[in-house]
Amino acid sequence: MYQPPHFREDRLDVQHALMRAHPFGMLVTLGSEGLVANPVPFILDASASEKGTLRAHLSRANPQWRDFDAAREALVIFQGADSYITPSWYETKRETGKVVPTWNYAIVQAYGTMKVMDDLEWLTRQTEALTAQHEASQPQPWAASDAPASYIAAHMKGIVGIEIEISRIEGKWKVSQNRPQADIAGVAEGLRATEGEAAQRMADLVETYGMKG
């Protein structure tokens, strides 16, 4: 990933926080016919290895778990907040006019060799953990035990697990840090005045990473 120094985010806890907040990652592997990419919800186990271990499952009908180069790293992309940035928000526009639009974003890319986990006990733990994580906010959280056991057993036969021990990880928070303070303040103000949760999340990042004093 292209990494200008002022946009790098190397703190592992910050990278992990984005991955947990945006767990629907893009799994990219190299197959016999080239690159293959599928969006997959991941569970991150930060304690399982130095940089963390990712766990997920795929449909058994999905060829990605069969056709991949196990000797090469897989890539999982976690996309955080992003937003278009109009140059109209910059003080520099009023001073010199020498500005152009851009796009702000936060992203994490995690790499590691992928292993297939075709084991019922492993799959049960993984699916239960994934379900518990995303059902926690529901007033009446769903659990596998709510469905007929025969139905769940049939479902489990239709999936296969994958596990990626992260060998390297990159974070990039491009959130206006390279602009003068007056421009950064203008971006934050403009985003705050924009409707939508995405704009507000980006305003938080601009203020956290860019605003000084």
List domains and CATH numbers for the chain: 5-208 (2.30.110.10)
pTM, rounded to two decimals: 0.94
Distances (CA, A) of 195 to 85, 94, 141, 199, 203: 14, 24, 31, 7, 11
Asked if 146 contacts 106 with a C-beta cutoff of 8 angstroms, the reply is: no
Q: Which two tokens stand for residue 33?
A: 């016919």
* Tens of pLDDT, residue by residue, the chain (213 residues): 999 999 999 999 999 999 999 999 999 999 999 999 999 999 999 999 999 999 999 999 999 999 999 999 999 999 999 999 999 999 999 999 999 999 999 999 999 999 999 999 999 999 999 999 999 999 999 999 999 999 999 999 999 999 999 999 999 999 999 999 999 999 999 999 999 999 999 999 999 998 765
Q: What CA–CA distance (Å, rounded) separates 201 from 185?
A: 15
Residue 211's pLDDT is what? 78
Count how many residues are written for the chain.
Answer: 213
Residue 210's pLDDT is what? 86
Residue 212's pLDDT is what? 66
Q: Which two tokens stand for residue 43?
A: 């569970």
Query: Residues near 22 by Cβ (< 8 Å), separated by ≥ 6?
Result: 78, 79, 80
Residue position matching structure tokens 């996309």: 79
